[in-house]
């Protein structure tokens, strides 16, 4: 009886027929000489799950399981062929596939949750040295040379719902301004997205936001809405505020100056200064607002998990195309793994489940009918033994 390997089950989230349609639309395999885009995808996903750190290691490890290649629809790989494909085949195919899977994750989040919460942040991918400098040196900022991954993350389902890759010198708020705001959702972000006019756009789209005020924010108190004494909680202040100036400088107009905001000041025992939060949410309590901002660390932990468990710190190629393919493949792998974990009904930590997947990637899983047959046989043997004991 044939049973799928765990690797084959992983790829169920991306049917080959759907993938080939995208390949045909983009013409990626028009001039290939046997090594298809599907072969490339399978090899790169294997590199992500197995943790291979070089093309030589990837070739030896992947080709060591050649008896399973047929059921994956692939073949043995050559190091030079994969290197050429990563360097020369456009990363747009992988970007498109990644975007499609993220879109499916986004629809899942919206169908399962009524109270939508999204965390927004970015994370740098440092790339410096021979091969990288040729395309990263002119677009670096004072902190990073390489790339920056911008993401919107749904913490409840642990799923990215939007992703964009840019050079490090692109400000976070520039990407934020291009975000499609969802009605009735709540967005949590840090001071990298400090733009009063963008906050106003979120307000106009009937969405909520929670972020931080800068220490020099020119606002004045309208009224106090504190519901408890300051010494009874970590909330030091809770008040309605408005901006003092319509024009903050250089002929810029602050469109939020006619609207009220809420300022929540939170005590931090381990810090010298309190946390000053800005929000347009007047319905939640001050404690709930503070708790929402604490959840922002969820996206930081997600980036940390990706960098620790997938291959986006050490790359199999140094060209811009190869690096981007590997980053997109990391996200594709995470989304496929999340889909598979959900199908299996695993409720434990993703880290432990993913570790188990790594060590059982080419093991064959028992199909349900086979498992049920074995269970019935064990029950029959048990009852038979129990009957003999009664005699």
At 170 the pLDDT is 95
How far does CA 62 lie from the centroid of its chain?
26
Report the range of poorest mean pLDDT among 27-41, 138-152, 196-210: 27-41
Tokens representing 232 are: 């009874």
Q: What percent of the chain has pLDDT over 90?
A: 73
At 386 the pLDDT is 66
Q: How confident is the model over 336-384, as pLDDT tens digits?
A: 999 999 998 888 889 899 999 999 999 887 654 455 566 677 777 777 6
3-class state of residue 316 by DSSP:
coil
At 225 the pLDDT is 85
* Cβ-contact 149, 121 below 8 angstroms: no
At 234 the pLDDT is 87
What are the residues whose beta carbons fall under 8 Å from the beta carbon of 316, sequence distance 6 or more? 47, 52, 54, 55, 58, 82, 83, 86, 322, 326
Task: Output b/e per residue, 223-240; b: 16+ Cβ within 10 A.
Answer: eeeeeeeeeebebbbbbe
| Closest among 5, 150, 132 to 72, alpha carbons compared | 5
- Domain range list for the chain: 6-93+308-359, 190-295
Q: How confident is the model over 45-81, as pLDDT tens digits?
A: 999 999 999 999 999 999 999 999 998 999 999 999 9
Q: What percent of the chain has pLDDT over 70?
A: 93
| Closest among 63, 75, 93 to 35, alpha carbons compared | 75
DSSP string computed for 181-248: PPTT-EEE--GGG--HHHHHHHHHTT-EEEEE--TT--EEEEEE---S-GGGSSEEEEEEEEES-S--
Instruction: Compute the distance between CA of residue 289 and CA of residue 181 in angstroms, rounded to an integer.
Output: 20
Task: Say if residue 17's pLDDT is above 90.
Answer: yes
């Amino acid at each position: 009886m044939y049973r799928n390997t765990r690797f084959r089950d992983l790829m169920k989230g991306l049917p080959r027929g759907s993938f080939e349609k995208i390949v045909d639309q983009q013409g990626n395999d028009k001039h290939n000489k046997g090594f298809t885009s599907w072969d490339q995808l399978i090899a790169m996903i294997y590199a992500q799950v197995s943790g291979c750190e070089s093309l030589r290691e990837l070739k030896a490890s992947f080709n060591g399981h050649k008896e399973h290649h047929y059921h994956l629809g692939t073949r043995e790989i050559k190091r030079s062929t994969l290197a050429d494909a990563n360097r020369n085949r456009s990363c747009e195919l992988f970007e498109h596939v990644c975007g499609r899977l993220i879109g499916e994750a986004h629809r899942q989040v919206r169908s399962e949750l009524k109270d939508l919460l999204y965390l927004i942040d970015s994370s740098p991918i440092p790339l410096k040295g021979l091969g990288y400098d040729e395309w990263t040196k002119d677009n670096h900022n004072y902190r990073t040379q390489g790339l920056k991954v911008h993401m919107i993350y749904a913490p409840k389902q642990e799923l990215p719902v939007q992703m964009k890759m840019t050079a490090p010198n692109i400000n976070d708020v520039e990407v934020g301004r291009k975000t499609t705001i969802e009605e009735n959702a709540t967005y949590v972000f840090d001071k990298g997205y400090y733009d009063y006019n963008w906050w106003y756009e979120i307000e106009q789209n009937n969405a909520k936001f929670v972020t931080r005020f800068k220490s020099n924010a020119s606002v004045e108190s309208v009224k106090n809405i504190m519901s408890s004494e300051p010494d009874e909680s970590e909330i030091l202040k809770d008040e309605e505020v408005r901006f003092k100036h319509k024009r903050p400088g250089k002929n810029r107009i602050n469109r939020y100056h006619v609207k009220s905001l809420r300022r929540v000041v939170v005590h931090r025992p381990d810090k010298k200064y309190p946390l000053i939060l800005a929000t347009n949410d007047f319905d939640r309590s001050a404690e709930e607002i503070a708790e929402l901002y604490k959840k922002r660390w969820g996206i930081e932990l997600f980036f940390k998990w990706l960098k620790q468990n997938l291959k986006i710190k050490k790359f199999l190629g140094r060209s811009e195309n190869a690096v981007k393919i590997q980053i997109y493949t990391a996200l594709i792998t995470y989304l496929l793994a999340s889909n598979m974990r959900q199908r299996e009904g695993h409720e434990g930590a993703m880290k432990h489940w993913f570790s188990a997947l790594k060590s059982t990637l080419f093991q064959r899983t028992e199909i349900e009918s086979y498992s049920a047959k074995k269970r019935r046989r064990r029950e029959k043997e048990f009852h038979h033994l129990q009957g003999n004991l009664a005699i």
